């Protein structure tokens, strides 16, 4: 479990925005003395420019400024995905408190009245930096949990649950738009003999090498019949996931049967060219691949996976190190 780090002002940068130089000097002195890093701006426009460059952890923002007031600056920062999470504390004179409702509606987290009381200012700054750090840590922890839940630990690619989720999304898209969509089912030939002969560590290295080869092949997008837009080309790149053991699946969006067959053959041909050196012996692997494509008659993703799995069985039965399709799909590819 991650241990909580003590609060250290030196880890934080605060942007101070005020058009009055004396206020800036006072705030910089207070915060610098407490150990915070500081930067400043003397107008709303300059503040927006400074945020882009310095990426502060918190902003002390003067409410009333000429040209662009603090509320407008706050709104723009909160409408920007890159800056909307930065906490903003408004600096306001006692006579300006009637604007605070608008300030909070714009996204402010707090306010401090002028003239400043140093202890109050520092407590409010620390409180909101603490809250931001806690929120950032929670977001980071959640993202890490999501990564662990959806990633195969050995190879770093999507795991069974994740690749099935991707496949389901592509299946539903094909149903909705009647767009092509194909699947490759890939299995390492005689993988058990690699583990038995060289040990499971070498078997793991073989799996990682296989993933590297497949991903490299998937980056070479096929152009069939016409030139595609950049968006179409990016969408057509496949998703590789591990089903378990030595069995993997590739989801190929916007790819018809001929394109999928060509991609599978490229993987099959490339696989033996990569090798592992085990002492004085060179180890290479081959793969068998089953190919299937979406049919409007399919009711769910499992229908395509079943055909791809049967095609894979046929590839192994007919000698391994080859690409295979079901009989009806062989007819399609020959037409």
Q: Where does the chain hold its CATH 3.40.50.2300 domain(s)?
A: 9-148
Tell me: pLDDT of 258 over 70.
Answer: yes
Give the per-residue pLDDT at 328: 62
Q: Which CATH number fits domain 160-334: 3.40.630.10, 3.30.43.10, 3.30.70.270, 1.10.10.410?
A: 3.30.70.270
Per the DSSP assignment, residues forming a β-bridge with 16 are 40, 60
Question: Tell me: the pLDDT tens digits for 151-207?
Answer: 999 998 999 999 999 999 999 999 999 889 899 999 999 999 999 888 899 999 999
Sequence-ordered strand ranges (E) for the chain = 13-17, 37-41, 58-62, 88-93, 110-114, 181-188, 239-244, 247-253, 275-278, 281-284, 287-293, 323-325
* Average pLDDT along the chain: 87
Q: Average pLDDT for residues 218-228, to the nearest whole number? A: 46
Q: Where does the chain hold its CATH 3.30.70.270 domain(s)?
A: 160-334
Report the SS3 class of residue 271: helix
Give 269 or 328, the one with higher predicted confidence: 269
| Spacing of C-alpha 96 from chain mean position | 44
Q: Which CATH number fits domain 9-148: 3.40.640.10, 3.40.50.2300, 3.40.449.10, 1.10.1200.10?
A: 3.40.50.2300
Q: Average pLDDT for residues 129-146, to the nearest whole number? A: 90
């Amino acid at each position: 479990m991650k241990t909580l780090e003590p609060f250290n002002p030196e880890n934080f940068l605060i942007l101070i925005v005020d058009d009055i130089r004396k206020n800036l000097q006072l705030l910089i002195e207070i915060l610098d003395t407490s150990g915070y890093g500081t930067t400043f701006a003397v107008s709303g426009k300059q503040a927006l420019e400074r945020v882009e460059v310095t990426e502060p952890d918190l902003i002390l923002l003067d409410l009333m400024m000429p040209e662009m007031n603090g509320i407008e600056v706050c709104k723009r920062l909160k409408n920007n995905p890159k800056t909307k999470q930065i906490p903003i504390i408004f600096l306001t004179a006692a006579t300006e408190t009637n604007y605070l409702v608008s300030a909070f509606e714009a996204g402010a987290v707090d306010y401090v009245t002028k003239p400043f009381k140093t202890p109050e200012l520092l407590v409010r700054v620390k409180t909101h930096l603490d809250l931001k750090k806690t929120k950032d840590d929670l977001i980071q922890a959640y993202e890490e949990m999501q990564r662990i839940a959806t990633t195969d630990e050995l190879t770093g690619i999507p795991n069974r649950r994740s690749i099935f989720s991707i496949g389901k999304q592509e299946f539903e898209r094909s149903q909705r738009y009647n767009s092509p969509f194909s699947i490759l089912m890939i299995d390492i030939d005689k993988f058990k003999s690699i583990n038995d002969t060289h040990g499971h560590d070498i078997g793991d290295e073989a799996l990682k090498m296989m993933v590297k080869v497949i991903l490299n092949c998937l980056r070479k997008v096929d152009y069939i019949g016409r030139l595609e837009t950049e968006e179409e080309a990016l969408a057509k790149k496949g998703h590789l996931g591990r089903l378990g053991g030595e069995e993997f699946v590739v989801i190929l969006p916007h790819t018809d049967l001929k394109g999928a067959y060509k991609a599978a053959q490229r993987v099959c041909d490339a696989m033996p060219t990569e090798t592992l050196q085990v002492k004085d012996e060179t180890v290479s692997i081959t793969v068998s691949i089953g190919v299937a494509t979406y049919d409007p008659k399919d009711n769910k993703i499992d229908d395509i996976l079943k055909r791809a799995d049967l095609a894979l069985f046929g590839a192994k039965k007919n000698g391994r190190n080859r690409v295979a399709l079901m009989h009806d799909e062989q007819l399609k590819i020959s037409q």
